[in-house]
């Protein structure tokens, strides 16, 4: 069938898989001669680095305050950037790296005289530099910004090299997630996404399985089959598996589940033709975060085995679309009455969560742009987190603080579950008018059964509303670094059956 928007078969919607790993990130004892500009980190207590006149800096208004930037002409030019009065942290270093990157936006190589800092500061600086210069320009005649090609951290600290490497990998995860979410729906269908996984995952140490509509039907995945009913595009389940080397493996297993709605029209409950509808190419952002996180686990030597299930489809209206009042049957036999075809994310993820329970996972974590209710409750700066295991929820909250991807815990309970009772099936896919994020979480919790489970609702944070520093315009890539942090820290004490 000829598509309304033809897309070349070789079009690559995820350039970060190739460009970000190619960035040259090194540590050197001295500043090299062949860099585009030199950044010197200073403090408000000592705002004048060696070789620079304090009175001249003060006359220019430079005080060394956090992320304050002063450009000194020369060959190469020098950027003096303030770190404030306190010691740098992972978060403030990320902001400082971003301030450096945006100071001279046309330069592709930078040497940063950072001093003898710890690994977290080095990590944050590299993350900030790379993320601040990100843009998705695959369909533009000219790139929106020039990407960084080379970062040299000038330091004699042994910890800096390790931190720089971690920052490079963490930034890669976020840029992959941003690429996926920024790609238009015709350029990132379920089938195209699956092809990217097949082509790229083995190079990053991942096993990949792709399952089509016939497999999903045979395996009783009623949710994704129903949601896909109105589409001309086939659904796909992308399953990625990371198995740590025996020398580091801790014997534990986490299952990630991602909502991969490559476009959500709302189905027959079609969304209004407004800016929210136009944004619905990003309804796969949870799946994008899960996908992206998997690609850095090997290089970070994560000791826990991780399986990711990404349920990919679009949600379209047609004569074969799922209807309000239909009853679907999920993999575990649960029947669900569909009261709203725009509450589809929970339907596609439910069967993947069931698969997680079948694999003897120590924990299941799902990520989704699930409810407008979560956005209305928390705004656009915090995702929601809910779960059946408080220690797992606390681990996610802690990782959110460190990655600059904050989450706020919302309530669950029997009162919310009661709102899902149906007269004709085991459950409804929609609760009442209020607390939509909590009733949606209760729906998903049903399928997790006794397995420790947590759910991140990222509806409000999938797009960057107020671009600043490393948070660039467009889709945020939220959740990729958050998940990586959780997986690095996960231990059996974090989630108890």
- pLDDT tens column, 118-139: 999 999 999 999 999 999 999 9
Predicted confidence (pLDDT) per residue in 253-287, tens digit: 999 999 999 999 999 999 887 777 778 999 999 99
| Rounded-to-integer distance, Cα 293 and Cα 1, Å | 34
Q: Which residues contact 84 (CB under 8 A, 6 or more apart)?
A: 43, 44, 64, 65, 66, 67, 92
Give the pair of three-digit tokens for residue 182: 């920024």
- Residue 491: its pLDDT value, please? 87
- Three-state secondary structure of 182-229: HCCCCCCCHHHHHHHHHHHHHHHCCEEEEECHHHHHHCCCHHHHHHHH
User: Please, which contacts does 434-437 make with residues 24 or more away whose CB atoms are closer than 8 Å?
Assistant: 435/373, 435/411, 436/371, 436/372, 436/373, 436/374, 437/370, 437/371, 437/373, 437/374, 437/377, 437/384, 437/386, 437/410
Instruction: State yes or no: pLDDT of 3 exceeds 70.
Output: no
CATH class, 183-494 region: alpha beta
The pLDDT confidence band at residue 2, using thresholds 50, 70 and 90, is: low
**Segment 377-407, tens digit of pLDDT:** 999 999 999 999 999 999 999 999 999 999 9
- Average pLDDT over every residue of 6-33: 94
Q: What pLDDT is attached to residue 496?
A: 54
Q: How far are the Cα atoms of 285, 311, 474 from residue 345, in angstroms, in the given order?
A: 12, 9, 22
- Distance (Å, whole) CA 25 – CA 27: 7
Q: CB under 8 Å to 204, separation ≥6 — which residues?
A: 294, 295, 296, 298, 299
Find, among 469, 294, 461, 455, the residue nearest to 363 by Cα. Answer: 455
300-349 tens-digit pLDDT: 999 999 999 999 999 999 999 999 999 999 999 999 999 999 999 999 99
Beta strand 78-82 with 69-72: parallel, antiparallel or unpaired?
Answer: antiparallel
What is d(CA 144, CA 136) in angstroms, rounded to the nearest whole number? 8
Query: What is the arithmetic mean of pLDDT over 218-230?
Result: 98
Separation between Cα atoms, residue 235 and residue 119, nearest integer Å: 42
Q: Residue 413 class from Cβ within 10 Å (0-12 exposed, 13-18 middle, 19+ buried)?
A: exposed
pLDDT at 487: 98
In the chain, where does the domain assigned CATH 3.40.630.10 lie?
Answer: 183-494
CATH of domain 16-177: 3.40.220.10
Contacts of 243 (CB under 8 A, 6+ apart): 207, 249, 305
Q: Which residues contact 474 (CB under 8 A, 6 or more apart)?
A: 135, 136, 178, 181, 182, 463, 464
pLDDT category at 495 given cuts 50, 70, 90 is low
| For residue 497, pLDDT beyond 50 | no
Place of tokens 């009042």: 325
Question: Residue 176: is it exposed, middle or buried by C-beta count within 10 angstroms (0-12/13-18/19+)?
Answer: buried
Least confident of 102-106, 248-252, 414-418: 102-106
- Residue 146: per-residue pLDDT: 87
Residue 365 has pLDDT above 90, yes or no: yes
List, by residue number, the catalytic residues: 271, 346
Residue closest to 481 by CA, chosen among 451, 461, 453, 452: 461
Structure tokens at 107: 């330069």
Question: Is 207 in contact with 272 (CB distance < 8 Å)?
Answer: no
Cα dist from 13 to 81, 82, 126, 171, whole Å? 35, 37, 24, 17
Res 440 pLDDT > 80 = yes
User: pLDDT tens digits for 166-214?
Assistant: 999 999 999 999 999 999 999 999 999 999 999 999 999 999 999 999 9
First vs last C-alpha separation in the chain: 49
pLDDT > 70: what percent of the chain? Answer: 98
CA-based nearest residue to 290, from 304, 265, 311 = 311
Q: What does the alpha-carbon distance between residue 62 and residue 217 come to, in Å, rounded to a whole number?
A: 64
Which residue has better confidence, 92 or 9? 92
pLDDT, the chain, mean = 95
Give pLDDT, residue 302. 98
Q: What are the C-alpha distances in Å from 91 to residues 84, 125, 288?
A: 13, 9, 23
User: What residue ranges of the chain are covered by domains with CATH 3.40.220.10?
Assistant: 16-177
Structure tokens that stand for 162 in this block: 């390790």
pLDDT at 289: 98
């Amino acid at each position: 069938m000829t598509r309304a928007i033809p897309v070349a078969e070789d079009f690559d919607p995820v350039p970060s898989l190739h460009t970000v790993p190619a960035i040259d990130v090194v540590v050197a004892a001295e500043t090299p001669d062949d860099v585009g500009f030199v950044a010197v980190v200073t403090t408000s207590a000592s705002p004048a680095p060696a070789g620079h006149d304090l009175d001249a800096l003060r006359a220019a208004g430079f005080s060394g305050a956090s992320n304050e930037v002063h450009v000194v002409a020369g060959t190469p030019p020098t950027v003096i950037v303030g770190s404030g009065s306190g010691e740098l942290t992972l978060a403030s270093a990320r902001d400082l790296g971003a301030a450096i990157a945006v100071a001279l936006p046309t330069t592709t190589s930078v040497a940063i005289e950072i001093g003898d800092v710890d690994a977290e500061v080095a990590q944050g600086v590299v993350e900030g530099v790379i993320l601040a210069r990100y843009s998705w320009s695959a369909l533009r005649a000219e790139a929106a910004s020039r990407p960084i090609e080379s970062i040299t951290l000038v330091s004699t600290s042994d910890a800096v090299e390790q931190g720089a490497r971690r920052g490079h990998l963490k930034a890669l995860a976020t840029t992959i997630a941003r690429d996926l979410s920024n790609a238009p729906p015709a350029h990132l269908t379920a089938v195209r996404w699956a092809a990217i996984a097949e082509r790229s995952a083995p190079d990053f140490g991942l096993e990949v399985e792709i399952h089509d509509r016939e497999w999903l039907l045979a395996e009783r995945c009623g949710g994704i089959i129903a949601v896909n009913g109105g589409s001309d595009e086939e659904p796909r389940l992308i399953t990625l598996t990371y198995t740590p080397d025996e020398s580091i493996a801790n014997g534990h297993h986490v299952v990630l589940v991602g909502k991969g709605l490559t476009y959500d029209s709302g189905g027959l409950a079609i969304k209004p033709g407004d800016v929210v509808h136009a944004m619905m190419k990003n309804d796969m952002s949870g799946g994008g975060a899960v996908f992206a996180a998997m690609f850095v686990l090997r290089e970070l030597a994560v000791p826990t085995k991780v399986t990711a299930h990404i349920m990919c489809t679009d949600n379209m209206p047609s004569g074969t679309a799922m209807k309000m009042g239909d009853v679907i049957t999920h993999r575990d036999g649960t029947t669900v009455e569909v009261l709203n075809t725009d509450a589809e994310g929970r339907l596609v993820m439910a069967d993947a969560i069931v698969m997680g329970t079948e694999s003897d996972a120590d924990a299941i974590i799902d990520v989704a742009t699930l409810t407008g209710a979560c956005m209305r409750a928390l705004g656009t700066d915090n995702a929601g987190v809910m779960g059946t295991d408080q220690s797992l929820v606390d681990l996610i909250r802690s990782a959110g603080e460190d990655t600059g991807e904050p989450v706020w815990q919302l309530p669950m309970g029997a009162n919310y579950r009661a709102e899902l009772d149906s007269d004709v099936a085991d459950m409804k896919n929609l609760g009442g008018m209020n607390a939509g994020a909590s009733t949606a979480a209760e729906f998903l919790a049903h399928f997790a059964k006794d397995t420790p489970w947590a759910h991140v609702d990222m509806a409000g944070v999938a797009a960057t509303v107020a671009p600043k520093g490393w948070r660039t315009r467009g889709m945020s890539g939220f959740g990729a670094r958050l998940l990586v942090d959780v997986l690095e820290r996960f231990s059996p004490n974090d989630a108890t059956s």
